[in-house]
Structure 1
Amino acid sequence: MALSPRTRPDTLDELLVETRLYSAEFPILLASHLPMILVALDRLGATSERLAEYFETYCTTNGLVPTPPPVAPIERERWTDALGDRTREYDYRAFFENEVRRIGIDAAIQTYLPTLLPGIGASAMHGMMRTAYGLMRMDPSEVGTALGYWSATYLTMPRATGAAPITDDPGEVLARACTLPCLREVEPETDLLWHNIRAAGEKESFAPVVDWLAIGPDTGRKLAETSLALFAATMDFSSLHALTGSHWIRLIGPHLAEADRPALQRYFWQIIASLVPKIGFPSLPSAEQLDAWRHLPAPGWPEIAEAAIASDDEHDISLVFSAREEESIYGDRLYRVVAARRMGLIA
């Protein structure tokens, strides 16, 4: 739905209000990145004119649809009864927007998110993405909408049992997952990312994977390093979500109670392990290869950001923004190299 110049919002906050008129998914079961990408574009330095232009282009190109009509109010005492029911998107969004207003952002996250973490694959992790971006701005309406989105698209996967972990190395988890015969037999319903995740989760011998990773104080950094290495090796659409997802969980973690943070990391990495068939059963590069890539000539972040701002591809913008943010935390120049490569600025 393109807006006329006279009615078109022209600030980020106004545009985000407008995005909440739409469903969080568009046909057929694809995640709308629009609110998050508007924030990323703004942080990368896009003008208000570019934000408005991107809004119109995205709405028109993807055929965004209104939020489904209400079915029935979600009752606080039974709020989990309809998890995963996409017809209840309006109801869940209304419930969580009210809850965030009632108790505040952090209290809502700490009250409800631990129950949602085992379903972190919701809409291919884009419920998590919207939550992270809402928390980045501490935007109550976006956080409430995101929790509702996550709830309506909740994706059931094997739950942690408390079994003894095998390794503290996320890369070893992926390598072991690649050896599971069941993952060679995954046949998703469609090529949608979350259908691939669900198909892996339905394999009985995949169930133990969620317990394999030992979680410790340094796990966040290890997940980020492994995700970066995976994307650098494959430049693959699915592994892109490992790199950006590492950014999202870093944003969400501080808002959870300390005891709940390991589950955020554990269930996130279960989802990445479920995607190894779609990524092509990858092998991680050696330290020497990573270091060689790290030292490739690459333009600076202003040039990379400019290329991302000019792109209409939501994954270009998401990747560049997350890579820049992660480099600011971890100091690894390889983030800049892979971002430049994604944007076609280097070979």
Structure 2
Amino acid sequence: MERNPLIAVDTQPDSPSAIYGHPRASARLRPLIADVGKRSGEFPDYLANHLPMVLEAMGRLGAAPERLEAYARHYTLAHAVPFPPPAVSSLTDATWRSALGQRERETDLRDYFADVVSRIGGNEAIRLHLPALFPGVAASATHGLMRLAYAVLRRDEMEIGIALGYWAATYLAFPQPPLAGSPTVDDPAELILSMQSEPSFRNIVVSSTLLWKWIEAVGHIPAFQQRLGRLAPRDDLLIRMRQASLALYAGTMSFEALHAVTGSHWLRLVSPHLDKPQILAVHFWEVVLSLYTKIGMPDLPSAEMLDAWRKLQVPPDEAIAAAAIASDDEHDHSLVFSALEEYRHTGDPLYRVVAARRVGLIE
């Protein structure tokens, strides 16, 4: 298999992790997440509610129940996380797609998917219904995917229904212009770097700080639309995406590239429940393409630089996890947990390096 020479291959799958959940946290997590999960998937104004997911991440990183409860109170109050809007009208198998992208229908969509999960189970609900949501994976800046991934990780049927409803209510798809021929690009890194020469991707102005508003705006640029559908859904696509995302984040440590790294983890969790997970991966990478413009379309680090970073001395996993737990920034919890899980899966020490950098333990 030919690969991009800048990116390392997975060499040590399922390597051991030194991080274990707090012995008293697991019993508290499920009822705590069930309680905070009653609130909306977003808080004012249209920002993703990370709380159900980062509580799980913090618990698995070793947070004590007291820290989890304190953080849940802090997050809910600091962000004024509301309850979902009132129901409008019930949805059915024949009508639920008519409510896609309508935030005011969050309750209706949550209720619909709760019923679906109760009838056929979470795994089958994902397999049958998620393909219709693939094109809208930019939903709430990809956090619909995040919520579903954590629900799958926890084997939480209630959260699976909520996550599907949240994804559907915030559904955001790019225009899909007709393409001449089949997808021709195998390497996601190649596709992302091909954008550097396009002038219309420079100096984009978006009148909002919301990440999903940037994604939406880039989707209207003709040159961007020409790149949609270019990436081939190969069997090794998620591996290549994981490697390219890690290189991009290591080189930039940017907020946008962080979501590519965590998103690759979420895709790995959800993929076993799908018949064609590569199709979802293609749509996710198109979101990453749109965010690449926001960070100035930098080059990826060289193979030599990546290897040098891999050799850096970093604190033990327990210290990295403890620093994330102590933080009140939900993206610290998210990145560190995903990075350590991806390190456990791949054995690539660069994940430990970026995790330690994120929480300020190394430069």
- What SS does structure 2 have at the residue aligned with 1:123? helix
**Residue 205 of structure 1 aligns to which amino acid in structure 2?**
A
Matched, 1:46 2:63: yes
Aligned pairs for 1:136-175 (under 5 A) are 136-159=153-176, 163-175=181-193
**Residue 135 of structure 1 aligns to which amino acid in structure 2?**
V
- How far apart, in 2, do the equivalents of 1:91 and 1:291 lie? 50
- How far apart, in 2, do the equivalents of 1:316 and 1:160 lie? 37
**Residue 201 of structure 1 aligns to which amino acid in structure 2?**
G
- How far apart, in 1, do the equivalents of 2:140 and 2:252 lie? 23
CA contact (8 A) 1:213 1:266 kept: yes
Q: TM-score, normalised by structure 2?
A: 0.90
Matched, 1:131 2:169: no
- How far apart, in 2, do the equivalents of 1:342 and 1:156 lie? 30
Matched, 1:310 2:326: yes
1:327 matched residue in structure 2: 343
- How far apart, in 2, do the equivalents of 1:238 and 1:148 lie? 25
Matched, 1:58 2:75: yes
CA contact (8 A) 1:120 1:154 kept: yes
CA contact (8 A) 2:238 2:278 kept: no
Deviates more, 1:137-146 or 1:152-161: 152-161
- What SS does structure 1 have at the residue aligned with 2:321? helix
Q: TM-score, normalised by structure 1?
A: 0.94
- How far apart, in 1, do the equivalents of 2:228 and 2:201 lie? 15
- What SS does structure 1 have at the residue aligned with 2:141? coil
2:263 matched residue in structure 1: 245
Superposed CA deviations along residues 91-130 of structure 1, whole A, max 9, x for unmatched, are 1011101101111111101111000000000000000000
**Residue 64 of structure 1 aligns to which amino acid in structure 2?**
V
- How far apart, in 1, do the equivalents of 2:200 and 2:95 lie? 36
- How far apart, in 2, do the equivalents of 1:246 and 1:96 lie? 25
**Residue 303 of structure 1 aligns to which amino acid in structure 2?**
A
1:181 matched residue in structure 2: 199
CA contact (8 A) 2:235 2:278 kept: no
How far is the alpha carbon of 1:59 from its aligned partner? 0.7
CA contact (8 A) 2:219 2:290 kept: yes
CA contact (8 A) 1:210 1:266 kept: no
The one of 308, 312, 337 aligned to 1:296: 312
Deviates more, 1:164-173 or 1:263-272: 164-173
**Residue 238 of structure 2 aligns to which amino acid in structure 1?**
G
1:346 matched residue in structure 2: 362
2:5 matched residue in structure 1: none
1:281 matched residue in structure 2: 297
Matched, 1:37 2:51: no
- How far apart, in 1, do the equivalents of 2:207 and 2:136 lie? 19
2:119 matched residue in structure 1: 102
2:13 matched residue in structure 1: none
- How far apart, in 2, do the equivalents of 1:284 and 1:77 lie? 45
**Residue 173 of structure 2 aligns to which amino acid in structure 1?**
T
- How far apart, in 2, do the equivalents of 1:119 and 1:242 lie? 16
1:190 matched residue in structure 2: 208
The CA RMSD measured in Å over matched residues stands at: 1.3
How far is the alpha carbon of 1:161 from its aligned partner? 5.3
1:7 matched residue in structure 2: none
Matched, 1:215 2:233: yes
How far is the alpha carbon of 1:185 from its aligned partner? 5.2
Unmatched 5+ stretches in structure 1: 1-9
Percent of residue pairs bearing the same amino acid type: 49
**Residue 158 of structure 1 aligns to which amino acid in structure 2?**
P
How far is the alpha carbon of 1:205 from its aligned partner? 2.1
**Residue 27 of structure 1 aligns to which amino acid in structure 2?**
P
- How far apart, in 1, do the equivalents of 2:147 and 2:356 lie? 25
